[in-house]
């Protein structure tokens, strides 16, 4: 049996930020497991380009699991997203200058999809490791929701058993140092949390695929 392909995505900086913690997490995280092949991609903060890139990745890479990460400045803990909705509606432009107004991501798509990763188990496992985490019921209506929805829509449309989910992370301390009372989290804790999410997904996949050896 071939290795499990896990796609891990982060984002480029946006909205006047010079860094995006999600990019640093994806670039820094080393994950070695004899049965797992980790593919890392940094996505543009663009509604249309990120959708196009995700569609291509789902078609060409055909991952068994997708874990996407994005920055959610102002949140104080790691947020595991439960729901993606079929709507792009922005108050700030994306990096291409696009400001969609109540635009559907897919005309024929369901109104919403639930993440197919075990969200509560991931939250619990991260908290058990001493890192603040919470379940979130809204990934917003910006590019992160756009990516989460696009992944889940492609999974649903192709009827493929892909385990997919989205993680929102707080600002890094170097981003909040000059802001007024904004929460932050250090990069090492964020990386540890994402590693726990991947471990939880690998465990889930191994129970779905009986031939998958856990080493």
Q: Is residue 11 within the footprint of ligand PCA (CB under 6 A)?
A: yes
| Separation CA 13–CA 45 (nearest Å) | 7
**72 in Cβ contact with 170 (< 8 Å):** yes
Stretch that binds ligand PCA, among 60-68, 76-84, 139-147, 207-215 (CB under 6 A): 139-147
Phi/psi at 71 (5° precision): -85, 135
| Orientation of helix 119-128 relative to helix 187-208, angle to 10° | 130
Q: Is residue 170 within the footprint of ligand PCA (CB under 6 A)?
A: no
Among residues 30, 39, 107, 168, which one is catalytic? 168
Q: Is residue 105 within the footprint of ligand PCA (CB under 6 A)?
A: no
CA distances to 4, 12, 92, 145, 175 from 46, rounded to whole Å, are 29, 10, 12, 12, 22
Site string for ligand PCA, 15-54 (x = CB under 6 A): -----x-x----------------------x---------
Q: Is 142 left (phi over 0), alpha (psi -120 to 50) or beta?
A: beta
**55 in Cβ contact with 67 (< 8 Å):** no
Q: Is residue 171 within the footprint of ligand PCA (CB under 6 A)?
A: no
As a whole number of angstroms, the longest Cα–Cα distance in the chain is 52
Q: Is residue 143 within the footprint of ligand PCA (CB under 6 A)?
A: yes
Site string for ligand PCA, 70-89 (x = CB under 6 A): xxx-----------------
Q: Is residue 144 within the footprint of ligand PCA (CB under 6 A)?
A: yes
Stretch that binds ligand PCA, among 65-73, 75-83, 171-179, 206-214 (CB under 6 A): 65-73
Q: Is residue 140 within the footprint of ligand PCA (CB under 6 A)?
A: yes
| Separation CA 211–CA 150 (nearest Å) | 29
Among residues 144, 153, 203, 204, which one is catalytic? 144
Positions annotated as catalytic residues are 81, 144, 168
Binding residues (CB under 6 A) for ligand PCA: these are: 11, 14, 20, 22, 45, 70-72, 140, 142-144
């Amino acid at each position: 049996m071939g290795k499990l392909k896990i796609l891990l995505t982060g984002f480029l900086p946006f909205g006047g930020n010079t860094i995006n913690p999600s990019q640093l997490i994806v670039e820094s995280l080393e994950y070695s497991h004899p049965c797992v092949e980790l593919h890392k991609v940094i996505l543009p903060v663009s509604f249309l380009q990120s959708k196009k890139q995700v569609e291509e990745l789902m078609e060409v890479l055909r991952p068994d699991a997708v874990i996407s990460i994005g920055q959610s400045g102002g949140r104080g803990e790691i947020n595991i997203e439960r729901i993606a909705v079929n709507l792009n509606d922005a108050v700030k432009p994306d990096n291409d200058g696009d400001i969609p107004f109540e635009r559907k991501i897919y005309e024929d798509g369901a109104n919403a999809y639930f993440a197919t990763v075990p969200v509560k188990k991931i939250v619990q496992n991260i908290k058990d490791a001493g890192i603040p985490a919470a379940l979130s019921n809204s990934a917003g209506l910006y590019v992160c929701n756009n990516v989460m929805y696009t992944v889940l829509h492609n999974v649903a449309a192709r009827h493929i058993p892909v385990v997919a989910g989205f993680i929102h992370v707080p600002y890094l301390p170097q981003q909040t140092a000059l802001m007024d009372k904004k929460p932050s989290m250090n990069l090492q804790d964020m990386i540890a949390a994402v590693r726990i999410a991947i471990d939880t997904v690998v465990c889930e996949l191994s129970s779905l695929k009986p031939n998958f050896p856990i080493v």
